[in-house]
């Protein structure tokens, strides 16, 4: 074999090797960029800033829309716990929906409006609890605590929105009971 042919083959093989390496690096960078964007979207929607939890949610293929609904259901349930939707609670829920970008994320405004006008069917809370319990089995203790803390902080915020007289009785007995129900859903 002629030396120049051997050199050409070596160069071709080398080029193929580096082409494959470059392709893998480009794909890896694209996946990393997509993960960063998804993580940022999840953080925006949920208010969660715990990287480990956000990465776990991405790994479990929980997108921003699912997470927004997942966190929104407890807020609706707390607002309706005492059997009525107070205007301050309604305002708090609209703030949550706007901050989470639910309209842009495809949540049907009719569903949100229906939840604000009429207490959702108890099956919604039951389904949420089952989903949370299943999700919590996939999370480690730190991730579970981070999700719990975010959901409960938002739920307490809605419960406190209606307020009380001179700051007394800010959270009704029914809302406290609902907060306890929500809290217990995280205990698997």
Widest pairwise Cα distance in the chain: 96
Q: Which two tokens stand for residue 137?
A: 């089995």
Contacting residues for 2 by C-beta, under 8 A, at least 6 apart: none
Rounded to whole angstroms, the Cα distance separating 126 from 140 reads 23
Is residue 185 predicted with pLDDT exceeding 50?
yes
Is residue 11 predicted with pLDDT exceeding 80?
no
Rounded to whole angstroms, the Cα distance separating 21 from 161 reads 56
Reported as a pLDDT band with limits 50, 70 and 90, residue 180 is very high
pLDDT digits (tens, 9 = 90+) for 16-47: 766 666 667 777 776 666 666 777 877 776 66
Number of neighbouring beta carbons within 10 Å of residue 90 = 16
Q: At what angle do helices 64-80 and 3-46 cross, to 10 degrees?
A: 10
Reported as a pLDDT band with limits 50, 70 and 90, residue 148 is very high
Reported as a pLDDT band with limits 50, 70 and 90, residue 127 is confident
User: What three-state secondary structure class fits 47?
Assistant: coil
Per the model's pLDDT, the better-predicted residue between 95 and 171 turns out to be 171
Is residue 140 predicted with pLDDT exceeding 70?
yes
Per the model's pLDDT, the better-predicted residue between 146 and 95 turns out to be 146
Query: For residues 42 and 67, is the Cβ–Cβ distance under 8 A?
Result: yes
């Amino acid at each position: 074999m002629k030396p120049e042919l051997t050199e050409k083959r070596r160069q071709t093989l080398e080029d193929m090797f580096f082409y494959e390496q470059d392709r893998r690096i480009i794909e890896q960078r694209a996946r990393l960029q997509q993960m960063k964007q998804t993580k940022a979207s999840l953080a925006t929607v949920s208010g969660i800033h715990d990287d480990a939890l956000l990465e776990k949610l991405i790994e479990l293929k929980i997108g921003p829309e699912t997470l927004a609904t997942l966190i929104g259901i407890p807020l609706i349930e707390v607002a309706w716990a005492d059997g009525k939707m107070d205007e301050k609670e309604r305002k708090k829920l609209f703030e949550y929906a706007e901050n989470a970008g639910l309209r842009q994320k495809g949540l049907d405004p009719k569903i949100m409006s229906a939840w604000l006008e009429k207490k959702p069917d108890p099956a919604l809370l039951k389904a949420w609890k089952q989903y949370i319990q299943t999700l919590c089995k996939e999370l480690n203790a730190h991730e579970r605590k981070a999700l719990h803390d975010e959901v409960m902080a938002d739920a307490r915020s809605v419960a406190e929105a209606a307020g009380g007289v001179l700051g007394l009785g800010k959270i009704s007995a029914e809302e406290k009971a609902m907060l306890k129900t929500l809290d217990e859903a995280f205990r698997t």
